[in-house]
Chain A
């Protein structure tokens, strides 16, 4: 193209509207035409985006701002306005009325102010009594909602109660804001008392809580819910000691729906005290919500802290999902009964909570009077029976008393539950009535007796199923607690929870996943005795451990697992040789495996060379740790007596070349500066102190070196540590010339503790006491990158065999894995219980790591497996996943190149051919796994086949054979089936590569279907899709002559939208991931497809639910959300058993592997995570052999 394209064409190019054939021409022209480039500059001006940061132009703010930022203003904490504001009263001031007068009132003083108004102490002249005046702020009178709230509080006047602040009347004078005249309570708020005293004695706390409960009970009786119970709203009368509830401003009249002050979705209340239902449906709360808030207050009074803390969102999610820490674990002084009462108030399930404030008051009274309380932490048969007996219905029970109680006693166990029992009780009462009528009637017939008996049997069955449900809920709660225990690093507790359900049928994916997590701690390698040092053979097949046993020092040679490590099976080893070494201490060792030798450094006994097969000592060198072995296993380097470094030939045992020297000033550690640092170095665990005297009595010059390392090409030797490195340098000798170079970073002020060469000898990684990881170009001496790697001193560093990853570990007990190229963190491992002294990648092995801590424990794991999941990283967001039917491979859609096939069992990942697909493509494997079908974009029907581990795409138009046009169709894939739209009809066919297998079944006309919201069940009998008019249509394949049957499912709320659909394996349930306009819309809906009944509304996600998938056994459902989490739901319980965090972006797809042991999740954070569950022994026996991609065609 010679002429410049016109502006229209350029705009077309920018907006992707240029015809395809013109594009290359225009692009080619632009490549060289500066005029066009200028025009494009103009066209793509960022305009009103203002991308240049004007803030950088403004100079840094004055210092006082930083100070303000550090201190959170107290006034903001309690929500009150700055107290500079006040009010002028109409009447003149006088001695009797220092602040002025208002009608019948002399205003005496201001008591406080809030965001809505002020409170004054005043004298009511006509009655000569002291009152409190609550005046609304003038600007608030313009807000109808505030005014309404204010008037509501005033209306509470009808409520006269000892424990509620009395309201006398409400005034709305002209020319002055409205105000409330109320009882003046001379005292302080509970909040002030709590702030002053920290926490209260159990008796006092119980007494105050009981009074509040009594006040609440009275309010509830009058149909008022307070909705904002918190210490700041409870007043303590100085004279009478009475506690009184104030501020009914948020109170809601239960009976008067039109008076809902808060609109749906708007939260009023104070987050840490709000009940779960208050967050979810604020307009619907009843008195039990106040019971929850009271529970929070009592908790705070007893323990001095809030049960749910954090930011608003953290509080919200804790209140919805987390069990509070039991008060007793915070303070032993808290009596069990009070703890029971608090926890019963804090039950998230309305039915498990106290049914009324009255019930709370009664239990608190019993506690204070020393009587047994009614609520129980975990029910027992005895308690359940007592509970029944105590209820007013007890008289009614007498008729069938013994039978009923015995029956209940035999049935009820497990948990304290109310609703179930209440319902059962109701049934019992009615049965009982029937029975007593029958009994009193002398004309009683046999028939009615029989029917009564049947009734009782029915109830029996009902109670059995209710008991099962209670046990299920307990299981769900325990699994959530188990996960929390893991997050708190409490492995012991985690194991306890898991053991409790070891043989239970209730277990699902969450149990197996948590069990896998629990193993993180247990993936120990090597002996139970304390390990002091470790060294790998160059091939990585053998590992030498210096072990401190009761009998003495040993070197143990272990084989490492030759199988590549996998998601579920980390490296484990076996003991091959043991050699007793007659030394007092082992500070370092190297393994010369080809020769069957091991060299051991000891502070007192020199460096000894042993044959580990026969236990003979072969030679002793004069010298000290650290040791280094050249990669050809010919040379041993170590520190000589004079502090220089010597090298010895391992065959001749003669010294090679001249000793490698440091600068004169660096040797000997004589400077004061050196001593200071040296003492810190000696704190390094796992390394013995070097003595003043050498092994043979000579004077020893300690240079405090921590590590020596030969470069893999054998050309150089690096040394780091102690006194030499006060300047923070790494010494690198050229072994041919003996010349020493120094790698230095001006910023490095502290000791370099560990060093490692990259496999190509081009780079050096170093870590040190300044918490940093540095990577150097070893040739040029340039620093490649540096950044803070750990929170504390870093001691050890290692490169993996491919040179792609770097691992570091140190004082903070964490091991972290880094991308060697970019320095980006790719994973971390928290399993170590002690300070990490050694981190090593297994030589020649991909991704396998071992580490040693100062407790002497060696652990092994896979570097690409984060502690909680295995992570696959890509260049772009991932939007869909599909497991192959064997479970051996996973297709990943998105991530930059369209499609990747990843083996699920092997650590050697993401290496297979990947056909490029258009954005948004999805797909499934065929049932024989020989083909992958991908949904249409550019090519109407991509059929991919696999050969020798490579995926090749063939656009095989098999559909043509069946008369289906190649272009112009829409396709969907689910459950090994393809749904296509042809002739404005839905057709379903099995996904099989051979054209003969196409059997089209019609599912009727195509309405307007939302994209991707379509699914088929496993049998191909049912089709479900979401339409634009907010309904979900389920069509069932017709029988006989009938074509299909259709059912319509409506969404419960108008604001909801469908994001994803999935059938349960048996097709009887349909799950829908829901989003919408309000937080109440973020849930999963679960329908019974046979009855069309909405079985569950699964709530607890904080944002859109974007994907859903059933586990293969149909007992669990996984849901992914835009809140970045994935949840596992127990379908029968309707509760989340597990919440998986870790993704850093919206979740786009979730999928279970066919055996149900792996869960894969895809996210916009450009990663796919595989969450493994432990494979149980019973399952393993039936396990199909796993084929890699290479064996696919066999």
Chain B
């Protein structure tokens, strides 16, 4: 049972559980990509970029554990930003102490903002995927397909209607309905 429950919590939440190795692997893959491309954008050599990526990947969950998330204080996302900022600052400073000054640029406000944007996008995607998984379970297939075809696969309402054998107007009604549910679900997930 717990296994199933686990899938319905976003990756970053799962990451706080030390026993969840799958979460770590997914985190390294998904967020590592973002961090790596960020490093390259800030003019790091490939080898250095790998170092920094690995370091930050370890540092972020570490910080997540030392800063308990308190829903009363603010949103999960806000908290996440704080965590990443601390992780970045600590990590770059530690590198500096080891005599590596070439990374100082990473500490700039611009670099930090840029990294936040990367990770935030990824987090948003994750929340969206989770929300979609939850909503799909709650609506019937035609409703979901109407949404999927028009909103994700970008097929015109008319073509989708022909494919699903329903009136064109219904396609839009269903699309809107699913989108409303998604927004509600995302709101819940982010507020959790």
A-to-B contact residues, CB < 8 Å: 13-16, 26-27, 30-31, 34, 37, 40-41, 43-44, 46, 49-55, 58, 60-62, 64-66, 68-70, 72-73, 75-77, 79-82, 84-86, 115-116, 139-140, 145, 266, 271, 309-317, 875-877, 896, 1102-1103, 1123-1125, 1139, 1141, 1144-1145, 1164-1166
| Residues of A close to B1: CB separation below 8 A | 317, 1102, 1123-1125, 1139, 1141
| Residues of B close to A50: CB separation below 8 A | 124-125, 128
**Which of B91, B98, B121, B175: most chain A Cβ within 10 A?**
B175
The A-contacting residues of B in range 86-107, CB under 8 angstroms, are: 86, 90-91, 94-95, 97-98
Known A61-B33, A1124-B5; 16 more pairs at CB < 8 Å: A26-B169, A37-B158, A41-B156, A50-B128, A65-B53, A68-B57, A75-B58, A82-B94, A115-B66, A145-B68, A316-B2, A875-B141, A876-B140, A1124-B1, A1145-B137, A1164-B138
Taken together as a complex, chains A and B put the C-alpha atoms of A62 and B50 apart, in Å, by 9
| Residues of B close to A1125: CB separation below 8 A | 1
Could you show 7 A-B contacts with beta carbons less than 8 Å apart? A40-B157, A69-B28, A76-B61, A82-B55, A85-B94, A312-B19, A1141-B1
Set A13, A58, A317: member contacting B37, Cβ < 8 A: A58
Does B109 sit within 8 A of A, measured CB to CB? no
Cβ-defined contact, A139 with B86, below 8 A? yes
B-to-A contact residues, CB < 8 Å: 1-6, 14, 17-21, 24-30, 32-34, 36-37, 50, 53-55, 57-59, 61-62, 65-66, 68, 86, 90-91, 94-95, 97-98, 121-122, 124-125, 128, 137-141, 150-152, 156-158, 161, 167-170, 172-173, 175-176, 179, 182-183, 186
Cβ-defined contact, B97 with A84, below 8 A? yes
Set A62, A76, A896: member contacting B62, Cβ < 8 A: A76
Query: For chain B, what secondary structure do more than half of its interface residues adopt (helix, strand, loop), or is it mixed?
Result: helix
Expressed in whole angstroms, the minimum distance between the Cβ of A1115 and any Cβ of chain B is 25
Cβ-defined contact, A84 with B19, below 8 A? no
Cβ-defined contact, B58 with A266, below 8 A? no
Taken together as a complex, chains A and B put the C-alpha atoms of A714 and B55 apart, in Å, by 68
Cβ-defined contact, A54 with B125, below 8 A? yes
Quick one: closest B residue to A27, CB to CB? B169
| Residues of A close to B172: CB separation below 8 A | 13-14, 30, 37, 40, 43-44
| Residues of B close to A312: CB separation below 8 A | 17, 19-20
| Residues of B close to A43: CB separation below 8 A | 172, 176
Cβ-defined contact, A44 with B179, below 8 A? yes
Please judge, given known A-B contacts A64-B50, A75-B62, whether A69 and B4 are in contact too, CB under 8 Å. Answer: no
Set B21, B28, B97: member contacting A68, Cβ < 8 A: B28
Cβ-defined contact, A73 with B169, below 8 A? no
| Residues of B close to A115: CB separation below 8 A | 62, 65-66
Set B18, B50, B176: member contacting A79, Cβ < 8 A: B18
Set B29, B34, B53, B90: member contacting A66, Cβ < 8 A: B29
Cβ-defined contact, A49 with B183, below 8 A? yes
| Residues of A close to B176: CB separation below 8 A | 14-15, 43-44
Set A40, A49, A140, A311: member contacting B19, Cβ < 8 A: A311
| Residues of A close to B29: CB separation below 8 A | 61, 65-66, 69
Taken together as a complex, chains A and B put the C-alpha atoms of A14 and B140 apart, in Å, by 17
| Residues of A close to B62: CB separation below 8 A | 75-76, 80-82, 115
Expressed in whole angstroms, the minimum distance between the Cβ of B174 and any Cβ of chain A is 10
Cβ-defined contact, B169 with A51, below 8 A? no
Cβ-defined contact, B3 with A314, below 8 A? yes
Taken together as a complex, chains A and B put the C-alpha atoms of A1125 and B5 apart, in Å, by 11
Cβ-defined contact, B66 with A81, below 8 A? yes
Cβ-defined contact, B6 with A31, below 8 A? no
Cβ-defined contact, B33 with A65, below 8 A? yes
Quick one: closest B residue to A77, CB to CB? B18
Expressed in whole angstroms, the minimum distance between the Cβ of B176 and any Cβ of chain A is 4
Taken together as a complex, chains A and B put the C-alpha atoms of A636 and B143 apart, in Å, by 51
Tally the A-B contacts, defined by beta carbons under 8 Å. Answer: 185
Please judge, given known A-B contacts A31-B169, A84-B98, A310-B19, whether A1165 and B53 are in contact too, CB under 8 Å. Answer: no
Cβ-defined contact, A41 with B55, below 8 A? no
Taken together as a complex, chains A and B put the C-alpha atoms of A1165 and B122 apart, in Å, by 28
Cβ-defined contact, B138 with A70, below 8 A? no
Quick one: closest B residue to A1139, CB to CB? B1
Quick one: closest A residue to B59, CB to CB? A82
| Residues of B close to A311: CB separation below 8 A | 2-3, 6, 14, 17, 19-20
Cβ-defined contact, A85 with B90, below 8 A? yes
> Which A-B residue pairs are the 8 nearest by beta carbons?
A84-B94, A61-B33, A69-B28, A69-B25, A313-B2, A312-B17, A27-B169, A115-B66
Taken together as a complex, chains A and B put the C-alpha atoms of A424 and B30 apart, in Å, by 61
Quick one: closest B residue to A66, CB to CB? B29
Expressed in whole angstroms, the minimum distance between the Cβ of B120 and any Cβ of chain A is 11
Taken together as a complex, chains A and B put the C-alpha atoms of A1087 and B53 apart, in Å, by 57
Expressed in whole angstroms, the minimum distance between the Cβ of B16 and any Cβ of chain A is 8
Expressed in whole angstroms, the minimum distance between the Cβ of A14 and any Cβ of chain B is 4
Taken together as a complex, chains A and B put the C-alpha atoms of A1144 and B186 apart, in Å, by 21
| Residues of A close to B124: CB separation below 8 A | 50
Set A62, A271, A314, A1124: member contacting B36, Cβ < 8 A: A62
Taken together as a complex, chains A and B put the C-alpha atoms of A37 and B170 apart, in Å, by 11
Expressed in whole angstroms, the minimum distance between the Cβ of B138 and any Cβ of chain A is 6
Expressed in whole angstroms, the minimum distance between the Cβ of A89 and any Cβ of chain B is 15
Taken together as a complex, chains A and B put the C-alpha atoms of A400 and B94 apart, in Å, by 75
Expressed in whole angstroms, the minimum distance between the Cβ of A366 and any Cβ of chain B is 36
Quick one: closest A residue to B129, CB to CB? A53
Cβ-defined contact, B128 with A55, below 8 A? no
| Residues of A close to B3: CB separation below 8 A | 311, 314
Expressed in whole angstroms, the minimum distance between the Cβ of B29 and any Cβ of chain A is 5
Taken together as a complex, chains A and B put the C-alpha atoms of A140 and B86 apart, in Å, by 12
Expressed in whole angstroms, the minimum distance between the Cβ of B81 and any Cβ of chain A is 16
Cβ-defined contact, A49 with B179, below 8 A? yes
Cβ-defined contact, B19 with A315, below 8 A? yes
Quick one: closest B residue to A1140, CB to CB? B1
Quick one: closest B residue to A1125, CB to CB? B1
| Residues of A close to B150: CB separation below 8 A | 44
Taken together as a complex, chains A and B put the C-alpha atoms of A266 and B68 apart, in Å, by 9
Taken together as a complex, chains A and B put the C-alpha atoms of A1139 and B2 apart, in Å, by 13
Cβ-defined contact, A49 with B182, below 8 A? yes
Cβ-defined contact, A13 with B21, below 8 A? no
Cβ-defined contact, B137 with A877, below 8 A? yes
Expressed in whole angstroms, the minimum distance between the Cβ of B49 and any Cβ of chain A is 8
| Residues of B close to A876: CB separation below 8 A | 139-140
| Residues of B close to A1166: CB separation below 8 A | 137
Expressed in whole angstroms, the minimum distance between the Cβ of B124 and any Cβ of chain A is 7
Cβ-defined contact, B122 with A314, below 8 A? no
| Residues of A close to B25: CB separation below 8 A | 69-70
| Residues of B close to A1141: CB separation below 8 A | 1
Quick one: closest A residue to B94, CB to CB? A84
| Residues of A close to B19: CB separation below 8 A | 271, 309-312, 314-315
Cβ-defined contact, A82 with B58, below 8 A? yes
Taken together as a complex, chains A and B put the C-alpha atoms of A1141 and B86 apart, in Å, by 41
Cβ-defined contact, A51 with B152, below 8 A? yes
Cβ-defined contact, A1144 with B36, below 8 A? no
| Residues of B close to A73: CB separation below 8 A | 24, 58
| Residues of A close to B37: CB separation below 8 A | 58
Taken together as a complex, chains A and B put the C-alpha atoms of A314 and B2 apart, in Å, by 5
| Residues of A close to B86: CB separation below 8 A | 139
Set B50, B54, B66, B173: member contacting A16, Cβ < 8 A: B173
Taken together as a complex, chains A and B put the C-alpha atoms of A85 and B179 apart, in Å, by 46
Taken together as a complex, chains A and B put the C-alpha atoms of A85 and B96 apart, in Å, by 11
Cβ-defined contact, A61 with B36, below 8 A? yes
Taken together as a complex, chains A and B put the C-alpha atoms of A311 and B19 apart, in Å, by 5
Cβ-defined contact, A68 with B54, below 8 A? yes
| Residues of A close to B95: CB separation below 8 A | 84
| Residues of B close to A75: CB separation below 8 A | 58, 62
| Residues of A close to B173: CB separation below 8 A | 13-14, 16
Expressed in whole angstroms, the minimum distance between the Cβ of A775 and any Cβ of chain B is 21
| Residues of A close to B125: CB separation below 8 A | 50, 53-55
Cβ-defined contact, A44 with B175, below 8 A? yes
Expressed in whole angstroms, the minimum distance between the Cβ of B39 and any Cβ of chain A is 11
| Residues of A close to B179: CB separation below 8 A | 44, 46, 49
